[in-house]
Structure 1
Amino acid sequence: MPALRQAAVAGLFYPAEPIALRRLVTQELDAADTPPAPAPKLLIVPHAGYAYSGPVAAKAYALLRPDGGARPDIERVVLLGPAHRLAVRGFAAPTVQAFVTPLGTVPLDTAALAELELLPQIVRSDEPHALEHSLEVQLPFLQTLLGDGFVLVPLLVGGATAEAVAQVLDVLWGDASTLIVISSDLSHYLPYALAQNVDHATAGRILAFDSGLSSHEACGAAAINGALLAARRHGLSPRLLDLRNSGDTAGDTARVVGYGAFAFT
């Protein structure tokens, strides 16, 4: 088995050149006017190309900036997202030791991944991760903000119930040094006005801890549904940070993809 999962969408979804990539991420974080708030335990962020969803994702990631010293030291990031390339039954957990981006290598929490093997919904497989973008596009933001001081638990979620996802998150919940990130876009390829209506309704359901979202409302619905169950059980409070679509950022308005940024504290 390979020891490293190499970047698959560098140069496509984000710049492949390290200086240009770090500059772009920093610019997007600087442009985010997210007001100061308590440090989040859980974020929901989009995963399209940075030209499309980067400004929305930055609204959430800006909460991790150490301005004012309020952010706790984050030592582990639990990252869940949908599998677009290959069908996944339950969860796909990689066997590699680290994920690579142009900004460097992110080591995996191999002990936590081994512990998850005790759960029936976990399958150890690198193949679904090899070309998947939903997790990879989050890493440059995390690397820029957290440096090399964190380990990663990357999980692709396929056919899994909300309860099965919540069970995994409960195992990995940890303390303030563990951050949970759910990677998901919202509606896909609707006309602009219809997408706005659908995404506003979806955002309302997320804020109400409605764990019955469908894949038509969010491609990462399975992960979101389970995260909402876990967040409610752990007493978190949600906040909508941004809600836009590709027609607002870098695309036309005939067929758009929706993006939302949410923080749970």
Structure 2
Amino acid sequence: MSQSSQSQQSQQSQQVRAPAVAGLFYPAEPARLRADVEAMLAAARRADDGGTAPAALIVPHAGYVYSGPTAALAWARAGARRGQVRRVVMLGPAHRVGVRALALPGCRAMDTPLGPVEVEVPAQIEELAAAGLVVTRPDVHAAEHSLEVQLPFLTAVLPGASVVPLAVGWVAPDRAAEAIRPFLGRPDTLVVVSSDLSHYLPLAEARRVDEATIERILALRADIDHEEACGATGVNALLLAAGERGLVPRLLGSATSADTIGSPDRVVGYAAVAFYEE
């Protein structure tokens, strides 16, 4: 690494990424945000059947008014690993800035209205960076919401856990799975893939498409496309890795934006899925 690259990386490592969608996708005011997150988690826990702790989750990432209750179903289940998990490896799609890799934000923490979450770059991810699969791209993360919206839930459910935030660009699912395999099933690590389902279809069609997508996820079929899930690459990567490890997926809940305040003419679909050791 050149001296200038080392200097740039050192400067980036001291930065804290500011929230980009606080006040848009979720409340910016800390007390209100905490109350909303805790209320959604409480409702999710009431619906929880007390299943075992998951090794991985698929969680939606829209505004909380739309997908928050569905996201809470997944994060509430992660609460069974509170005090055990010290890092969350998180993959979410890069919606705004293209990149032909998995992108790290190049910061030491990602801030939220509930406080900062430490960013960790484990040795396994450093190895993937040396191979060119992982890059440091603050611009990819600057306005990206797919990972950010998960952080208030993470701080509420797994306080003190660090995050390995990987924005997924144009890479093949089997390559993205290389960032999941080293951590899947580790007692100190939770893997989270952030993804919504179909986008902007009429309600009846959206439900039909989403039901078919969920059926394939539960069958560990890693053939989801980006019309069916905006985070398809991360979802497929997790399905590949989960199949190799023998994990069992379980649907925790699904919904659409029309279930809250969205129009039934153009809806977005959501699902919460947990993956368990047999």
Q: Same fold (TM over 0.5)?
A: yes
Secondary structure in 2 matching 1:260 = strand
Name structure 2 gaps, 5 residues minimum. 1-10
User: Would you say the 8 A contact 1:39–1:72 is kept in 2?
Assistant: no
Secondary structure in 2 matching 1:189 = strand
Residue in structure 1 matching 2:265, options 241, 254, 260? 254
Q: Give the counterpart letter for 2:242 in structure 1.
A: A
Q: Distance in 2 between matches of 1:54 and 1:216?
A: 22
CA drift of 1:45 comes to 0.5
User: Would you say the 8 A contact 1:162–1:226 is kept in 2?
Assistant: yes
- Residue 26 of structure 1 pairs with residue 38 of structure 2: yes
Q: Distance in 2 between matches of 1:169 and 1:54?
A: 25
Q: How many residues align?
A: 261
Percent pairwise identity: 51
For residue 159 of structure 1, what is the aligned residue in structure 2?
170
Aligned 1:84-163 pairs, distance under 5 A: 84-112=95-123, 113-147=125-159, 149-163=160-174
Q: Distance in 1 between matches of 2:56 and 2:167?
A: 17
Aligned 1:69-84 pairs, distance under 5 A: 73-84=84-95
User: Could you tell which deviates more after superposition, 162-171 or 201-210?
Assistant: 162-171
Q: Structure 2 length normalisation: TM-score?
A: 0.90
Residue in structure 1 matching 2:186, options 175, 186, 197? 175
Secondary structure in 1 matching 2:238 = helix
Q: Distance in 2 between matches of 1:127 and 1:17?
A: 25
User: Would you say the 8 A contact 1:93–1:123 is kept in 2?
Assistant: yes
Aligned 1:24-63 pairs, distance under 5 A: 24-32=36-44, 33-63=47-77
For residue 186 of structure 1, what is the aligned residue in structure 2?
197
Q: Distance in 2 between matches of 1:208 and 1:125?
A: 34
CA drift of 1:72 comes to 6.0
Residue in structure 1 matching 2:251, options 240, 257, 263? 240
Q: Distance in 2 between matches of 1:21 and 1:121?
A: 35
Structure 1 residues 43-81: Cα deviation after superposition (integer angstroms, max 9, x where no partner):
001000000000000111111234xxx756110000100
Q: Structure 1 length normalisation: TM-score?
A: 0.95
User: Could you tell which deviates more after superposition, 111-120 or 84-93?
Assistant: 111-120
User: Would you say the 8 A contact 1:72–1:177 is kept in 2?
Assistant: no
Name structure 1 gaps, 5 residues minimum. none
For residue 9 of structure 1, what is the aligned residue in structure 2?
21
Backbone CA RMSD of aligned residues: 1.4
User: Would you say the 8 A contact 1:191–1:253 is kept in 2?
Assistant: yes
Secondary structure in 1 matching 2:196 = coil
CA drift of 1:174 comes to 6.2
CA drift of 1:8 comes to 0.5
User: Would you say the 8 A contact 1:72–1:176 is kept in 2?
Assistant: no
Q: Distance in 1 between matches of 2:190 and 2:131?
A: 21
Q: Give the counterpart letter for 2:137 in structure 1.
A: S
Q: Give the counterpart letter for 2:20 in structure 1.
A: A
User: Would you say the 8 A contact 1:4–1:97 is kept in 2?
Assistant: yes
Q: Distance in 2 between matches of 1:119 and 1:194?
A: 42
